[in-house]
Chains A and B, each alone.
Chain A
Amino acid sequence: MTAALVLRAVIGAALVAYVLSGVADFGAGVWDLLARGRLAERQRAAIAHAIAPIWEANHIWLILVVVLAFTGFPVAFAVVATALHIPIAMALVGVVLRGAAFTFRAYGLQRSDLRARWGWVFAWSSVVTPICLGLVVGGMSSDAIEVEGGRVVSGYLAGWTSPFAWGVGALTLACAALLAAVYLAADLDDDAELQAAFRRRAMICEVITGACALVVALLAARDSPRLWDALLAGPWALGVHVAAFAAATTTLWALLTRRFALARVTVGLQVAAVVVGWGVASGDDLVLGAVPLYAAGVVPHVVEPVLWTLAASGVVLVPALFWLLRVFKSRRASTDEPAPEA
């Protein structure tokens, strides 16, 4: 089972990476939507600037999660894809609209009113997509999906339509907005006014996120007793709760005292703790109570080469990524030149 454990750890890490990068990008879109008043245009510009060069790459983490899941846990994967077809499809529509709209706006070469319309699509799809992703996760943990003989028998609405799943959706959205606000505040060292605006938003979000987490836990007690038990008494439960809580309070404190670099780290830890907590609470089930991950048995000699291959590719990927980030940083520091206009 070691191959299976490593695989789960890697999937978990990729999921955390996706939340901290891709989902945070959705959060930036949320702030784009909420930008109002005198600072609105500057805020939008700062958001676009923060996302521009690597956004396409951020979805890679989600793809990696999917690919590793169907490689290692094909049976459970097939069940999830069947039972949660509808929310997954909804999330996909959001991913498509958002990615396309952002690019069209950035490279649009269009009249400014058309660009504004793409901005609107970008912002709204940024709000809807994380909710849908949360519905998928909530559906998996809802304890409402039933499987008999490998076939889903609970229909196509089970799980993701429960109040619990919608609570997870709201929590996902709150996390996205929180991450983005902290990142933006930390990035905007050269613009005190905007920085203050995002700092305030980040602190409000931190409170909302905490409230959402509480609500989700309470809804779990009602809708998904198995998850509730695991959250309460599972082997790692206490540690994860403490870690999340400590990270959240540190983030708030860091924001209060304007320690933005620290806030960026702790907010990441906080959200990572939530993801890991969910993973641990789900135990050996991908779909809670219905499909054990190892239903078909993980095949080590299939999973291991894939993991080794990915690890080996890091030799090229990691330096390349660092190089990109460095070049991009130096670009911001030196001038604020727009993307090369042909």
Chain B
Amino acid sequence: MDDLLAARSQMAISLGFHILFAIAGMAMPVLMALAQWRHLATGDAAWRDLARRWAKGTAILFAVGAVSGTVLSFELGLLWPEFMRHAGPIIGMPFSLEGVAFFLEAIFLGLFLYGEGRISPRAHLLCGVAVAVSGTASAVFVTAVNAWMNEPSGFAVVDGVVTDIDPWATLRSGAFATQATHVVLGAYAAVAFVAMGIHAVALRRVPDDRMHRHAFTLALGMALVTTPLQILSGDLSAKHIAEHQPLKLAAAEGLFATTRGAPIALGGWPDAESRTMTGAIEVPLVLSVLATGDPDGEVVGLDSAPPEMWPPLGVVHLAFDVMVGCGSAMLAFVLWGAVVWFRSRVPGRPAPWAHRRLLFAAMLASPLGVIAIEAGWTVTEVGRQPWVVHGFLRTADAVTPMPNVVFTLVGFTSLFAVLGVVVVMLLRNLVRSSLPRGRR
């Protein structure tokens, strides 16, 4: 394996791993704080048990998020020293802010975990809210870095040296607003789906457990709110990249020729040699609508640039289809969930947590959001190739000169694999310990 490929793979695996914990760090505190709020509002002890249990899960995930994040902050330098040499001063501000947000999150999580009974219930609840806010802020700040890599601005290059740096450049990047919205909503939706799935499993074993009922309902509520918004924000992201990173969208859609009234290609595989899509189902005009809001709008195709400037087509297209596919399935699920919920007001109709088919579907649907997130990042990152900083620095020029990167790739990958397995085991134990003996 050549060193560039090894470095790219290592970065991708580390980020793909970290993002799992990052989304939990953003969304779990929201669920946890909401449950605690319901407890204070209703006095129902089941809500309190739920808040504690979720807080405990959050603590485990938070720790792994923190260590994998620590690894990443070094990996940027270890794997991409040339990137840091040029971009370091520019991305310093958002990463500093991220550090502050993370620190606050850690402090308030500590207070939430250990403070109950020692601080007033109101203050305790507010600590939960502070965890949620700072967790989300953390993600927004790092996303600013990524947005800037996609749409760099706020500096000048004179004789190969970066000057005239605007320290706030990342937060002013054009892609920031759409990307941050899409990332945050996506995290909420994905975590809501996972939580729904886990508690659906529990409810199928112990249908009368109040805590799991509350959990399922709350997670369903969060999914109901965030999933449709997430799809709207995906539409805005698509419109944005159609304008500013047209090659990324063209690769995502396998659109070789600049076209008016462009069709959307579902499935299929792009062939760069013959410049055609094989085996795709084409739905007329949809891409133009998605990208420009006008059925007759012009969508820039790959032919606008020479092939060596194209990102890897197959991966980007596949990833985009996977994301959109997952998003559509999630939308279908929440619509059904909404119907079940609405109908449950009619006497004799089951509540969502008692609807066995809905529970079964929730189990099946639980990984969809996480898959969509991994796929979405693949679109963003692979779709930016061959650039690490769009239009300024190529990935191949940013990589470390160190040979044998494949060794660290193998090392860190195995490390993350072990951690992943253990986290899953622990969370399973956490859930199992809530089920009565004999039904585990």
Q: A: which residues have CB within 8 A of B?
A: 53-54, 56-57, 59-60, 62-64, 66-68, 70-72, 74-75, 77-82, 85, 88-89, 92-93, 95-97, 99-100, 102-104, 107-110, 150-152, 156, 296, 299, 301-303, 305-306, 309-310, 313, 316-317, 320-321, 323-324, 327-328, 330-331, 339-340, 342
23 contacts between A and B (CB under 8 A): A57-B110, A59-B70, A66-B73, A67-B95, A68-B92, A77-B84, A81-B74, A82-B400, A96-B67, A99-B67, A103-B64, A104-B60, A107-B56, A109-B426, A110-B426, A302-B167, A305-B167, A309-B96, A327-B118, A328-B110, A340-B52, A340-B56, A342-B52
> Does B85 lie within 8 Å of A320, measured CB to CB?
no
> Does B114 lie within 8 Å of A96, measured CB to CB?
no
Interface residues of B in 168-211 (CB under 8 A from A): 168
**Given contact pairs A57-B103, A100-B422, A306-B92, A92 touches B429 in the complex (Cβ within 8 A):** no
> Does B63 lie within 8 Å of A81, measured CB to CB?
no
Question: Which of B55, B85, B91 has the most chain A CB atoms inside 10 A of its CB?
Answer: B85
Q: Closest Cβ of chain B: how far from A129's Cβ, in Å?
A: 11
Partner of B96, one of A74, A99, A150, A310: A310
Chain A residues near B77 (CB-CB < 8 A): 66, 70, 77-78, 80-81
- Identity of the chain B residue whose Cβ is nearest the Cβ of A103 in the assembled complex: B63
Kindly state whether residue B66 has any CB partner on chain A within 8 Å: yes
Q: How far does the alpha carbon of A324 sit from the alpha carbon of B112 in the complex, in Å? A: 10
> A63-B99, A70-B92, A100-B422 known; 6 other A-B pairs, CB under 8 Å?
A70-B91, A89-B408, A93-B415, A96-B67, A301-B165, A324-B107
Q: Closest Cβ of chain B: how far from A158's Cβ, in Å?
A: 13
Interface residue range, chain B? 35 or more
> Does A107 lie within 8 Å of B59, measured CB to CB?
yes
Chain B residues near A340 (CB-CB < 8 A): 52, 55-56, 113-114, 116
Q: How far does the alpha carbon of A264 sit from the alpha carbon of B113 in the complex, in Å? A: 28
- Identity of the chain B residue whose Cβ is nearest the Cβ of A59 in the assembled complex: B70
Q: How far does the alpha carbon of A59 sit from the alpha carbon of B65 in the complex, in Å? A: 12
Question: Which of B106, B113, B161 has the most chain A CB atoms inside 10 A of its CB?
Answer: B106
- Identity of the chain A residue whose Cβ is nearest the Cβ of B123 in the assembled complex: A323
> Does A100 lie within 8 Å of B64, measured CB to CB?
yes
Kindly state whether residue B86 has any CB partner on chain A within 8 Å: yes
Q: Closest Cβ of chain B: how far from A284's Cβ, in Å?
A: 19
- Identity of the chain B residue whose Cβ is nearest the Cβ of A307 in the assembled complex: B96
Partner of A109, one of B86, B100, B430: B430
Interface class of chain B by DSSP: helix
Q: Closest Cβ of chain A: how far from B57's Cβ, in Å?
A: 9
- Identity of the chain A residue whose Cβ is nearest the Cβ of B419 in the assembled complex: A100
> Does B88 lie within 8 Å of A107, measured CB to CB?
no
Kindly state whether residue B93 has any CB partner on chain A within 8 Å: yes
> Does A107 lie within 8 Å of B426, measured CB to CB?
yes
> Does B89 lie within 8 Å of A71, measured CB to CB?
yes
Partner of A70, one of B84, B161, B168, B402: B84
**Given contact pairs A57-B103, A152-B401, A104 touches B426 in the complex (Cβ within 8 A):** yes
Kindly state whether residue B78 has any CB partner on chain A within 8 Å: yes
Q: Closest Cβ of chain A: how far from B198's Cβ, in Å?
A: 14
Q: How far does the alpha carbon of A232 sit from the alpha carbon of B104 in the complex, in Å? A: 42
Closest 9 CB pairs of A and B: A71-B92, A81-B77, A74-B88, A70-B88, A103-B63, A78-B81, A57-B106, A99-B67, A78-B85
Partner of B85, one of A60, A74, A313: A74
Chain B residues near A85 (CB-CB < 8 A): 78, 400, 402, 408
> Does B89 lie within 8 Å of A72, measured CB to CB?
yes
Partner of B74, one of A60, A88, A151: A88
Chain B residues near A331 (CB-CB < 8 A): 114, 118
Q: How far does the alpha carbon of A78 sit from the alpha carbon of B426 in the complex, in Å? A: 38
- Identity of the chain B residue whose Cβ is nearest the Cβ of A321 in the assembled complex: B107
**Given contact pairs A99-B63, A306-B93, A342-B53, A82 touches B402 in the complex (Cβ within 8 A):** yes
Kindly state whether residue B42 has any CB partner on chain A within 8 Å: no
Q: Closest Cβ of chain A: how far from B365's Cβ, in Å?
A: 26
Kindly state whether residue B49 has any CB partner on chain A within 8 Å: yes
> Does A317 lie within 8 Å of B73, measured CB to CB?
no
> Does A328 lie within 8 Å of B415, measured CB to CB?
no
Q: How far does the alpha carbon of A32 sit from the alpha carbon of B111 in the complex, in Å? A: 26
Q: How far does the alpha carbon of A303 sit from the alpha carbon of B90 in the complex, in Å? A: 10
Q: How far does the alpha carbon of A82 sit from the alpha carbon of B165 in the complex, in Å? A: 24
Q: Closest Cβ of chain A: how far from B77's Cβ, in Å?
A: 3
**Given contact pairs A82-B400, A306-B96, A342 touches B71 in the complex (Cβ within 8 A):** no
Chain B residues near A323 (CB-CB < 8 A): 107, 111
Q: Closest Cβ of chain A: how far from B42's Cβ, in Å?
A: 19
> Does A96 lie within 8 Å of B419, measured CB to CB?
yes
- Identity of the chain B residue whose Cβ is nearest the Cβ of A314 in the assembled complex: B100
Kindly state whether residue B119 has any CB partner on chain A within 8 Å: yes
Chain B residues near A74 (CB-CB < 8 A): 84-89
Partner of A339, one of B63, B87, B91, B114: B114
Partner of B108, one of A104, A108, A150, A320: A320
- Identity of the chain B residue whose Cβ is nearest the Cβ of A93 in the assembled complex: B415
> Does B433 lie within 8 Å of A81, measured CB to CB?
no
Q: Closest Cβ of chain B: how far from A112's Cβ, in Å?
A: 13
> Does A54 lie within 8 Å of B106, measured CB to CB?
yes
Chain A residues near B91 (CB-CB < 8 A): 70-71
Chain B residues near A71 (CB-CB < 8 A): 88-89, 91-93, 95-96
Question: Which of B52, B71, B88, B99 has the most chain A CB atoms inside 10 A of its CB?
Answer: B88
Kindly state whether residue B221 has any CB partner on chain A within 8 Å: no
Q: How far does the alpha carbon of A152 sit from the alpha carbon of B401 in the complex, in Å? A: 9
Q: How far does the alpha carbon of A79 sit from the alpha carbon of B81 in the complex, in Å? A: 8
- Identity of the chain A residue whose Cβ is nearest the Cβ of B54 in the assembled complex: A342
Kindly state whether residue B217 has any CB partner on chain A within 8 Å: no
Q: How far does the alpha carbon of A114 sit from the alpha carbon of B74 in the complex, in Å? A: 31
> Does B111 lie within 8 Å of A327, measured CB to CB?
yes
Q: How far does the alpha carbon of A57 sit from the alpha carbon of B88 in the complex, in Å? A: 23
Kindly state whether residue B314 has any CB partner on chain A within 8 Å: no
Kindly state whether residue B387 has any CB partner on chain A within 8 Å: no
> Does A309 lie within 8 Å of B88, measured CB to CB?
no
